[in-house]
Amino acid sequence: MTLLDTLVPTYVQMLGALSAWLAKAEAQRPDGGAEALLAARLAPDMFPLSTQVRFACVQAQEGVCRLRGDALPASVTALLDEGRNAAERPGSIADARARIAETLAVVAAAAADAPVIDPATPIAHALPQGMVFDLTAEQYARDWALPQFYFHIMTAYTILRAQGVELGKADYVAHMFAYLRPGTLPAQ
């Protein structure tokens, strides 16, 4: 198993789930009511839903690119800029789902010819504030890439739930139903 073997399925599953949650929000709030959700926040000092979606996409693209040793695509800068300004320009549900689809394409392309990565490969991860983390590829995947990705995914899920979108645990772990042993799903 490579580090990308761990990240790619996680990104694909959870970004697919995020897109499905947004589709559910749209179905539950017709006539544009779902668009207002994109400006919703959990707390005044947190980014809105539209930013959480964009930053989840950033984390997925950045994760696969850094582990491959590739330069970050221009889409990462665009998503970061959009995300930082999302309170003023949240976009639409269609825009959010398009960003997810674009990210899934980047992730799929990165996985198509994924190199074997030595887990001890050094990765210097610089943040915009000037902080730099010196990590191995394994530490980067485990301690940064996955936790940051899940933070934004879970925050998006929580915002939607807090705003009354009918989502449940089955929506969060929809990918697990592929592994369900036949005959073990409880009757409703």
Q: How far is CA 112 from CA 8, 134, 146, in A?
A: 10, 27, 20
Percent of the chain scoring above 90 in pLDDT: 66
16 Cβ neighbours under 8 A, 6+ residues apart: 104, 174, 175
Q: Which residue has the higher pLDDT, 115 or 135?
A: 135
Q: Which residue has the higher pLDDT, 159 or 72?
A: 159
Q: How confident is the model at residue 90 (pLDDT cuts 50, 70, 90)?
A: confident
Domains of the chain in start order, with CATH, are 3-179 (1.20.120.450)
Whether the pLDDT of residue 146 is over 90: the answer is yes
Whether the pLDDT of residue 87 is over 80: the answer is no
Return mean pLDDT, the chain.
91
List, for residues 18-45, the tens digit of each pLDDT value: 999 999 999 999 887 888 999 999 999 9
